[in-house]
Amino acid sequence: MKVTVPVEDDSGGQFSGEAVLKPRSKGATAIRREKAPAYVRASNKPPKPKHVLKGLHEKGVFKAEKTFAAIEQEVANLECNFPRSTLMMALGSARFLTRRGTKGNYRWIQKYKPGG
């Protein structure tokens, strides 16, 4: 649906704009919220990187080595956006992960299986 909106401000200036509206399915936002795992939507507070990494570990993401870019993508898939430095600090302090590689080419892998 295309909508045209005319607007007049207090000083008499006239503006016009158009918008294209698309139909939205019922419950679309509820489905998106349900997609996020419990450790992301557990409370009204925003999730912390350490909790998101722990959840990824429990999901089995770190069975194989992951680069920083791959980990960032996994976190973004959960609709979480952390600063790169914050995510790097959380990776460094995660006791269930070990870092391999050289500076600029680090990869992370789990030390032990989830729940172990």
Angle of helix 84-93 versus helix 68-77 axis, rounded to 10: 110
**Average pLDDT for the chain:** 85
What confidence category does residue 30 fall into, taking pLDDT thresholds of 50, 70 and 90?
A: very low
Rounded CA-CA distance 48/52 in Å is 6
Q: Is the pTM of this model over 0.75?
A: no
pLDDT in the model for residue 40: 64
pLDDT in the model for residue 45: 78
Element (H, E) at 97: strand 97-100
Mean pLDDT value of segment 63-78: 94
Mean pLDDT value of segment 59-79: 94
Tokens of 33: 């919220």
What confidence category does residue 38 fall into, taking pLDDT thresholds of 50, 70 and 90?
A: low
Which ranges of 42-83 does DSSP label H, i.e. alpha helix?
Answer: 49-59, 68-77
pLDDT in the model for residue 61: 94
DSSP 62: G
CA quadruple 94, 95, 98, 103: dihedral positive or negative?
positive
| pLDDT of 91 higher than 50 | yes
pLDDT in the model for residue 32: 47
Cβ contacts of 101 within 8 Å, gap of 6 or more: 107
Domain boundaries, the chain: 2-110
